[in-house]
């Protein structure tokens, strides 16, 4: 099996993975907010939020869902662009400007999603504790090693996309001289 065939096969699987993410991520976010009582203990353990489920009303849950979806929409758009990239790879269309642009947009969305995530987390902590009695409300802001790793990874993807674009431009320029 030649390399282009391998690229096509891997790209087919990556398109499937992107489709799964595009379906499951919004579905899981919706599930969390519909069945919030089941997931509240996880937030207490992981975020240390002083949640009092009796103080969390339907408006808080709806606003929480909206904040979560706005935050997730950034990475979902990036995955849409990544899916387009792998669809082009699957067709054997490897080195060109649109592919570099798809990768660049994905990398930028990945970067932006890391910046948006702590803000969304802070908004969610406000929404989920705002009805608590004074002294039991919270604002949490968290940035960890995972976020730093994703920032680094998105930087790598941005650099690779720029290199792809420049390589395509140089190849096109050289083709004109021949």
Q: How many domains does the chain have?
A: 1
Residue-number span of the structural domain to which 159 is assigned:
3-177
Give residues with Cβ within 8 angstroms of 26, minimum separation 6: 69, 72, 76
Task: For residue 21, count CB atoms less than 10 angstroms from its CB and return exposed for 0-12, middle for 13-18, buried for 19 or more.
Answer: middle
- What pLDDT is stored for residue 62 in this prediction? 95
C-alpha span between 167 and 178 (Å, rounded)? 17
On whether the CB atoms of residues 129 and 136 are closer than 8 A, the answer is: yes
- What pLDDT is stored for residue 104 in this prediction? 96
Rounded to the nearest integer, the mean pLDDT of the chain is 91
Tokens standing for 175?
């083709």
- What pLDDT is stored for residue 178 in this prediction? 59
For residues 76-81, average pLDDT? 98
Q: pTM value?
A: 0.88
C-alpha span between 122 and 119 (Å, rounded)? 5
């Amino acid at each position: 099996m030649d390399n282009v065939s391998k690229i096509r096969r891997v790209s087919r699987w990556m398109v499937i993975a992107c489709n799964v993410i595009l379906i499951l991520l919004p579905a899981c976010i919706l599930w969390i907010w519909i069945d919030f009582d089941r997931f509240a203990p996880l937030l207490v353990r992981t975020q240390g939020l002083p949640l009092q489920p009796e103080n969390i009303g339907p408006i808080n849950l709806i606003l929480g869902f909206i904040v979560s979806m706005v935050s997730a929409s950034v990475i979902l758009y990036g995955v849409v662009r990544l899916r387009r990239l792998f669809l082009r790879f699957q067709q054997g269309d490897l080195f060109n400007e649109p592919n570099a642009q798809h990768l660049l947009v994905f990398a930028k969305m990945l970067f932006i999603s890391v910046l948006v995530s702590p803000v969304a987390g802070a908004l969610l902590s406000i929404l989920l504790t705002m009805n608590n009695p004074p002294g039991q409300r919270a604002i949490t802001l968290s940035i960890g090693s995972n976020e730093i790793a994703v920032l680094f990874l998105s930087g790598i993807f941005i650099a690779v996309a720029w290199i792809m674009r420049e390589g395509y431009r140089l190849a096109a320029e050289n083709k004109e001289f021949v």
